[in-house]
Amino acid sequence: MVLEVALIDVTPGAEEEFAAAYKIAYPILAGTPGCRSVRMTRGVESASRFVLLVEWDSVEAHLENFRNSERFPQWRGWIGQFFATPPVVEHFLDVPAGDRPGPDHNFFTD
């Protein structure tokens, strides 16, 4: 699994329109083969900043099934007009944390 993180700065004053357009465009992205989940978050301190989090089967699933397909221009057609600057997009892999300690684990003696 690969996590796509897109930092999206929206033109100030267009935040609600962007959020409404995202609701319409969501199925275009979420219905892409290889897409596992989609989540959009909005900044608390920076209300014009949004972060899109998309879980993909692989980077190739993102690029081939979405970016290089007819889905991408449809998606951008809905939300792209609200971008203040081009989004910054990167892919990430999970870092293993190990096993979760049980309820009786004593961190001070183990």
- Write down the pLDDT at residue 107: 65
Q: Is 19 part of any domain? A: yes
Domain-located, residue 101: no
Residues 6+ apart with CB under 8 A from 11: 48, 82, 83, 84
The pTM of the full predicted model, rounded to 2 decimals, is 0.86
Would you state the pLDDT for residue 102? 75
Of 50, 87, 51, 85, the residue nearest 72 (C-alpha): 87
Question: Domain of 11?
Answer: 2-92
Q: What total of structural domains would you count in the chain?
A: 1
The CATH number for 6's domain is: 3.30.70.100
Does a structural domain hold residue 107? no
pLDDT for residue 104:
75
Q: Is residue 56 part of a domain?
A: yes
One digit per residue, the tens of pLDDT, for the chain of length 110 reads 999 999 999 999 999 999 999 999 999 999 999 999 999 999 999 999 999 999 999 999 999 999 999 999 999 999 999 999 999 999 999 999 877 777 777 767 65
Structural domain contains residue 108: no
In a domain, 105, yes or no: no
Query: In this structure, is residue 15 part of a structural domain?
Result: yes
